[in-house]
Structure 1
Amino acid sequence: MEQVAMTGQERPETADERTVRRSAAYDMTSGEIARARAFVRDFLDTARSQHDVTVSDRAVEIAQLVVSELATNVCKYAPGPCLLDVGIDGILLDISMWDSGPVLPAASPADPTRIGQHGLELVLMVCQSFTVHREPVGKRIRVQIPLHDHPSAPNTW
């Protein structure tokens, strides 16, 4: 099941900042990873076209990478229902993913010979913030990504 809620509203404090939120629910299987990635891409495209929010192409790419990595971890370690919430405030993209798995993720120690299991390391490198919270059932991972490129940031990540 996709898109369980969609709301968009302008914050009254300033005309430049807009808050837009959207949610989706998945019964997480490997095929759902691509749908989750498309969901965040479509959300950001809608924010651009219908809410006049500036979003860099880099932010769109990073958001898709992050959602893909988070969804892959759900498939591997907590198969079952998953909720994906996305929101923007004009400056940051907020991505929150809930799953029913009780085990909190942890980055593996650096090992250049390790094959795979680099997803969380990638997420930590490209996000402005990363938090994990236990829920009454499962956990919620929340990350934030800047919507705009920083002028001094390199063009690659």
Structure 2
Amino acid sequence: MTSSVASTDDHFLITFAPLSVEEVYHQADHPHNGAVVVMSGTVRDQTDGKAVLSLEYQAYEPMALKVFQSIAQDIRQRWPEVNRIAIHHRTGHLKISEISVLVAVGCPHRAEAFTACQYAIDTLKHNAPIWKKEHWADGSSSWVNIGACEQENA
């Protein structure tokens, strides 16, 4: 299942399907851009030194998409020169090295594009109703809110 919302030229997506860096880049690109910054979050093989085999993501999709839209509105208030934003997040079972989240911000200037992209991912991690289950090599697993994970790993 795939859910998406688009307002203006922005694009927001939650999907079970693999994410595409090329697609998200294209969605943030615009002739006025001097920069498109793309942040790709991937599944890593360890958390705090503990071996991870895979992750499983769940999201409350309607609310998560509203959070993505709110992030874009905040970005436009703080950096009005930003012209396109794309935020995509996976759900379901992901293996090591698979992309779990993509954020792309298009802007005439690179400094604002970098700052807005970092704001987007940091705010998503803190506010979006998205949970992950870490499956560890020792056979155990645990669900956590992705925002709670960021607090622990900060």
TM-score band w.r.t. shorter chain: 0.3 to 0.5
More strand by share: 2
Relative contact order (alpha carbons < 8 A, sep ≥ 6): 1 or 2 greater?
2
